[in-house]
Amino acid sequence: MSTFLLEIVTPDHLAYSGEVESLTVRGVEGELGILPGHIPMVTPLQVAPLAIKTAKKTSYIAVNGGFVEVRKDKVVVLAESAEAAEEIDLQRAEAAKERAERRLAFKDKQDEIDFRRAELSLKKAMNRIKVYSSNK
């Protein structure tokens, strides 16, 4: 099967670089599967796992926003943050989820900015937990 080069880059490090058979991302318009020879494009990403399929396995990376750029010769994901399952601290993610849920429960006492911040924190925590669980 043919492959393409995938690079996942965050502001502070190169999170992934390698040849892959396919990539599945969640863009703002919905789920997107990328195979070799995909048409060039750029789209923003949601807070969601990326699924990376190689000849040996499918692995997942928790991405918290950013963009995916599909080029003729490679795919680049520019992410705010990216964590592989083995990099995720499950207890920390679960604690963040609980804090965000508590803040959301009192939404009538908060302003809109605090509500949106809590909502984003909850999405990020659930994304990390999902990626961590997918590796087990």
Domain boundaries, the chain: 4-85, 89-134
27 pLDDT above the threshold of 70: yes
Tell me how many degrees the CA angle 120-125-131 measures, rounded to the nearest 5.
125
Q: How far is the CA of 50 from the CAs of 39, 42, 100, 106, 114, in angstroms? A: 19, 16, 23, 32, 27
pLDDT at 131 over 90: no
Q: 4-85 has which CATH code?
A: 2.60.15.10
pTM for this predicted structure: 0.79
Longest CA span, the chain: 55
Q: Specify the 3-state DSSP secondary structure of 16.
A: strand
pLDDT at 26 over 90: yes
pLDDT band at 3 (very low <50, low <70, confident <90, very high): very high
- The class of domain 89-134 in CATH terms is mainly alpha
